[in-house]
Structure 1
Amino acid sequence: MEKYISQIQTPKVSIAPMVDKTHRHFRAFSRILTKNTLLYTEMISAQSIINTDTDKHLFFNKKDEGSVALQIAACNPEDAFKAVKIAENYDYDEINLNCGCPSDRVSGNLMGAALMADKKLVFEILIAMKEATKKPITIKHRIGINGEDILNPKNSKIILEGYEDLLEFLEAISKARPDRYTIHARSAILKGLSPKENREIPPLDYTLVHKLKKDFPYLNIEINGGFKTISDIKEQLTYVDGVMIGRASYENCYLLSKFDELSTGIASNITRKSILEAYLPYVEKELLIGTSSYALLNPIQSLFLGEKGSKLFKQLLSPPNLNARNGIEIINRILKELPEESLNLY
């Protein structure tokens, strides 16, 4: 394994790139709850960056969103190089290569988890990305893959499972010296399962990731897969450098307010009322440029999960109460109509 000491520090927690979830409004809202967590863009294909409206895909506001990593999907070194060069015009903190998405649309275009079938190609893509920028280059991948070999169609099946297969993959790509390995502790089934099923059916195997960090302590390793509580995160941090959270970040968004304590040791006392009040200026600014209230208020959907008044909260965030232009009015109604004990809870 290439011994390379990364110059970047892995945050205790990051929020995974998720299509239709980790857009810039989600990130602006998340930054109110957590200052130290690394946030990600949605996965963006290199071809989209090269051939379509760049600002549409890459624009973000550093002041509102803080530290953000751009995740790209690429199927060849040339496209990866061009996309990263374009991204140089934007102030992202890191650029991440997706080698973990199992969807047919992505793997069918020789991207995502399917890339793990060709470790030489992954190495070449990482090298191209490194040549295009001085920013940290990281990779997100699975512990293995199982399915049709679309990269090498003469072989009908690919099965990369177990510690030795994972080591073989990492042995090849480590020569490109990625700054961090974010490992989703599930194999990806490339045919027969939906992306949702691929997040639930293949069993989690944290021990493979833990063993990797133990055997190669100089590698910068972050683990991903199924973590929903602060105690989950704390346990994992005894084995690895960082933990990536996925669905829990929008299913229970107030959880984010607990993340910074893991790195600072200082407990958060931010209330749900304070969070909404802090989000109001952003909503007002975005409404002035035509952003829909539906998009702006979507990130707050789980803010009162399990708390008194949560039913009323959901009603206020749904039609006919909510429309495309009345986001400010709805937030003010939430602040006025929900129980004080829930608004001031932390």
Structure 2
Amino acid sequence: MSKISSPTDAARLSIAPMMDWTDRHCRVFHRLMSRRALLYTEMVTAPAIIHGDRHRLLDYDAAEHPLALQLGGSDPAELEVATRIAADWGYDEINLNVGCPSDRVQSGCFGAVLMKTPGLVAECVARMIEASPVEVTVKCRIGVDDQVPEDVLPAFLETMRAAGVRRIAVHARKAWLQGLSPRENRDIPPLDYPLVHRMKQDFPGLHLSINGGIASFDAVRGHLQVMDGVMVGRAAYHQPWDILGGADRLWGDTPPFGSPEQVAQAMRPYIAAHLAGGGRLHQITRHMLGLFHGMPGARGWKRTLSEGASRGGIGVYDTALRQVTQLAA
């Protein structure tokens, strides 16, 4: 087995932070398929860490490394305190969200709306860097609303570089904070991959990852001809084997498993332990519905888990897996 990647090395392929999706069970599942890719938590707000249940918000399985914590916030002092608290949990990276367009994020004056105040973002990350024993990174958009990305993005990257940030993931879409829902903001604003590619040429000293609409492993390889890293979101969630099954080859390694059936079998002890501790099957298997995407038996696997996991146990999981293995035999 290869040694665990450093965060910068691992960022060659990362799985985007996604609210309600990339929880600890999802990350354990993804880690089974790739020892090398960089995983992210869901966004956690700085006030929640300061005032909330820190163990619930920050605990994770050691097997998830390399793992980054994504923070949300716009108050430099709060972000500094949250970063100091999170340092005790041993994350490999702390990331600041400057890309989420949700209404809740806007009302808190953080996420994508921060593209309008790069000076404030610079103050935030400078305080975070001072407080963090690990690298502080940023995830951003190419602009918001009526901003001109060709002007805004280079200026934003320069401001981040001056503040001490060395690694940035860029979602290659604008965010329209008024008039589009968060879901629409993931699809409707046009992608501008060429602009992000030019940023790598213009900022060779920054480690830049590209994000947004990347839906296949071939597309990942294509972007890596230009970029330092690729961040994949929904495709990795809905078609995890397609993105992660062969991912470790990007580092010259042999993937841990040769088939999604092997991954499903490897998840079984983790699921059984979760159930024995009082957890519910659905809490894990909801992240696994797309494991057999496009393969014989995929419909039966998904249907069995969708209909039975909310009230069933390991027997439901075994039944779902037989939907696939019997057809593969």
The TM-score bracket by the shorter chain reads over 0.9
One-letter amino acid of the counterpart of residue 169, structure 1: F
Residue 196 of structure 1 corresponds to which residue in structure 2?
183
Task: Check 1:269–1:135 CA distance in 2 against 1; reply closer, same or farther (3 A cut).
Answer: closer
**1:234-254 deviation line (CA, Å, top 9, x unaligned):** 110011100000100111111
The answer as to whether partners of 2:10 and 2:36 remain within 8 angstroms in 1 is no
Give matches, 1:126-145, under 5 Å.
126-145=125-144
Residue 287 of structure 1 corresponds to which residue in structure 2?
275
Residue 225 of structure 1 corresponds to which residue in structure 2?
212
Task: Check 1:56–1:238 CA distance in 2 against 1; reply closer, same or farther (3 A cut).
Answer: same
3-state SS of the aligned residue for 2:170? strand
- Rounded to whole Å, the distance in 1 between the matches of 2:82 and 2:311 is 33
CA drift of 1:323 comes to 3.5
- Rounded to whole Å, the distance in 2 between the matches of 1:97 and 1:7 is 15
One-letter amino acid of the counterpart of residue 273, structure 1: E
Residue 111 of structure 2 corresponds to which residue in structure 1?
112
3-state SS of the aligned residue for 2:173? strand
CA drift of 1:322 comes to 2.8
- Rounded to whole Å, the distance in 2 between the matches of 1:41 and 1:322 is 24
CA drift of 1:315 comes to 2.3
Question: What percentage of residue pairs aligned between the two structures are identical?
Answer: 38
**1:69-95 deviation line (CA, Å, top 9, x unaligned):** 000001110110011111011021100
3-state SS of the aligned residue for 1:145? coil
Residue from 297, 307, 318 that aligns with 2:306: 318
Residue 334 of structure 1 corresponds to which residue in structure 2?
320
Task: Check 1:231–1:48 CA distance in 2 against 1; reply closer, same or farther (3 A cut).
Answer: same
Residue 58 of structure 1 corresponds to which residue in structure 2?
58
- Rounded to whole Å, the distance in 2 between the matches of 1:87 and 1:220 is 23
Task: Check 1:337–1:197 CA distance in 2 against 1; reply closer, same or farther (3 A cut).
Answer: closer
The answer as to whether partners of 1:96 and 1:139 remain within 8 angstroms in 2 is yes
Structure with more helix by fraction: 2
3-state SS of the aligned residue for 1:299? coil
Larger radius of gyration: 1
Residue 254 of structure 1 corresponds to which residue in structure 2?
241
Residue 26 of structure 2 corresponds to which residue in structure 1?
26
CA drift of 1:284 comes to 1.3
One-letter amino acid of the counterpart of residue 330, structure 1: V
3-state SS of the aligned residue for 1:144? coil
Task: Check 1:223–1:315 CA distance in 2 against 1; reply closer, same or farther (3 A cut).
Answer: same
RMSD of the alignment, in Å?
A: 1.8
Give matches, 1:1-346, under 5 Å.
8-9=8-9, 11-63=11-63, 65-146=64-145, 159-255=146-242, 256-264=244-252, 266=254, 270-319=258-307, 321-326=308-313, 328-342=314-328
One-letter amino acid of the counterpart of residue 287, structure 1: L
One-letter amino acid of the counterpart of residue 311, structure 1: R
Task: Check 1:336–1:166 CA distance in 2 against 1; reply closer, same or farther (3 A cut).
Answer: closer
- Rounded to whole Å, the distance in 2 between the matches of 1:68 and 1:268 is 18
The answer as to whether partners of 2:7 and 2:38 remain within 8 angstroms in 1 is no
One-letter amino acid of the counterpart of residue 122, structure 1: V
Unaligned runs of 5+ in 2: 1-5
One-letter amino acid of the counterpart of residue 290, structure 1: G
The answer as to whether partners of 1:10 and 1:222 remain within 8 angstroms in 2 is no
3-state SS of the aligned residue for 1:333? helix
TM score, norm. by length of structure 2: 0.93
CA drift of 1:7 comes to 9.5
**1:309-341 deviation line (CA, Å, top 9, x unaligned):** 12221221123x333450x21222233343445
- Rounded to whole Å, the distance in 1 between the matches of 2:323 and 2:162 is 58
3-state SS of the aligned residue for 2:175? strand
Count of residue pairs the alignment pairs up? 323
The answer as to whether partners of 1:308 and 1:339 remain within 8 angstroms in 2 is no
The answer as to whether partners of 1:10 and 1:241 remain within 8 angstroms in 2 is no
- Rounded to whole Å, the distance in 2 between the matches of 1:8 and 1:213 is 16
The answer as to whether partners of 1:287 and 1:325 remain within 8 angstroms in 2 is no
CA drift of 1:134 comes to 1.7
